[in-house]
Every structure is written in C-alpha cells, then in structure tokens.
Amino acid sequence: MAKYRIPILIAMITGCAMVIREFIPHYPFNILNTTFQQWYMIIACFAILLGVGSLLTIHGQKISRRRPGWGYSVVLILSFLIITFFGMVGGISEKGEGFIGSGFNWMFEYMYNSLQSTMFSILAFFVASAAYRAFRARTAEATLLLLAAFVVMLGRVTAGEYLWSQLPIITEWIMDYPNTAGQRAVMIGIGLGIVSTSLRIILGIEKSYLGGE
C-alpha cells in the first residue's frame, strides 16, 4: 500500500488540484495551487542534491578502489569541495569581498564559464566534419532537406544577400510557411501525446515513474 497506492494517490490529488484550479480559481483551490507550487520548488532543489550525491558516490568509489583514471576523480571531488566552500562560506554575491568572498564568482567566471563555453564550441568542428563526411543526398527527401538547409544557411547571413538580393526574403518565407507547417505538425503531435500521458498519470494508469518492484 505505502509503496504503490499512496504515491499514486499523491500524484492524483496534486494533478487534479492543478487542473481544477484552472476552472475554479477560488478558495480552496487557489490556496492549494499556490502551496503545491511552493513545495514543488523546494523539493526540486533536493532532486539536484540527489544528483550531486550520486556523482560523489561514484567518484568516491573510483578513488577508494583505485580504478583506472582515479586521479581525475580526485580533481573532480577537490574542485567540488573548493567551490562549495567558497559558495557556502563566502556567499554567491558578486559584491563579495576578500579571497573567500570573491572565490565563488572567480571560479564561475574563469573556470565554469570558459569550460562550459569551450565544451559546446568544439561541436562546430564536429558539425563541419559531419557535413563533409556524412551528409549525403541519397534520396529525394534527403536532397530536399539539404537544399532547404543551403537556402536557410545562406539566407541568414550577409553573404547570401551579396549572392542574390532576394535570398533573405525567400529564407524568411521558408521559415514563416513551410517550416512553420512542419514544426506545427510536430508540436500538435507532441502536445497531444503530453496531454494524454499527463491524463494517464493523474488517473493512475501510468505508473512507470515509480520504478520497478
């Protein structure tokens, strides 16, 4: 009962409360709605803690069992501890002063910022490599895809305008009409899927989020 029925009941009550509030925005549904929303925000933070806990557990085990690459796990845990110390003791405000007060923002600006930006920027190289080696116009559909891509890529940069003055307006037209048509079809399909899945969860039919056993 406690393992299955109570969680399904919780999902049902909270889901219904959120839906009913749309139709009856008065007491008690407005209070319930606000309360559940505030609780959601609090519990969402602890979900992140769960992720951090898992990360530390995995890398801690790697270090204790001296698995290959354990040195890098030491780097991971040390950097985690250092920034957490700065953040918890010195605070996260940009106005922090002194070594400890400004440490958190320094690490954000010069480590987090640059590492994350660079991680994503190397994708440009792989996109270029994929463009050369993998994008083949083998079928009519693939050819149409590539032609649309060429028009959009040229039309969205100034080089395209220099090649043909009408290219930007044609690109805008493709985005406004054929692209919107295709994306709208996808959006409606996904929207209907989400609505039906949400309904199944609220009615207790869908139980996969509870996990096995």
- Residue list 69-128, contact with another protein (CB under 8 A): 69, 72-73, 75-84, 86-88, 91-95, 102, 104-125, 127-128
Integer CA distances (angstroms), 95 to 51, 82, 112, 114, 143, in order:
29, 19, 19, 21, 55
| Count of residues that interact with another protein, criterion CB under 8 A | 149
Please tell me whether residue 164 binds another protein under the rule CB under 8 A: no
Structure tokens given for 130? 């994929």
63 binds another protein (CB under 8 A): no
Which residues from 130-149 bind another protein, rule CB under 8 A? 131-133, 135-137, 141-142, 144-149
Residue 198 makes contact with another protein by CB under 8 A: yes
- Check residue 156 for interaction with another protein (CB under 8 A): yes
The answer to whether the peptide bond before residue 178 is cis (omega within 30 degrees of 0) is: no
| Among the listed residues 26, 27, 42, 65, the single contact to another protein using CB under 8 A | 42
Whole-angstrom distance, CA of residue 17 vs CA of residue 118: 44
Among 38, 67, 164, 205, binds another protein (CB under 8 A): 38
Q: Which residues contact 33 (CB under 8 A, 6 or more apart)?
A: 17, 18, 21
Please pick, from the candidates 40, 61, 64, 100, the single residue that binds another protein as defined by CB under 8 A. Answer: 40
Pairwise CA distance, residues 7 & 203, whole Å: 12
Quote the least distance from Cβ 138 to another protein, whole Å.
Answer: 9
Contact flag: residue 61 with another protein (CB under 8 A) = no
Please say which residue, 27 or 211, places its beta carbon nearer to another protein.
211
Query: What minimum distance in Å lies between the beta carbon of 125 and another protein?
Result: 5
What's 210's DSSP letter? G
**Does position 167 bind another protein by CB under 8 A?**
no
- Can you say how many angstroms the Cα of residue 98 is from the centroid of all Cα atoms in its chain? 34
Cα 43 to Cα 34: distance, rounded to the nearest angstrom? 14
The residue with tokens 């990360």 is: 55
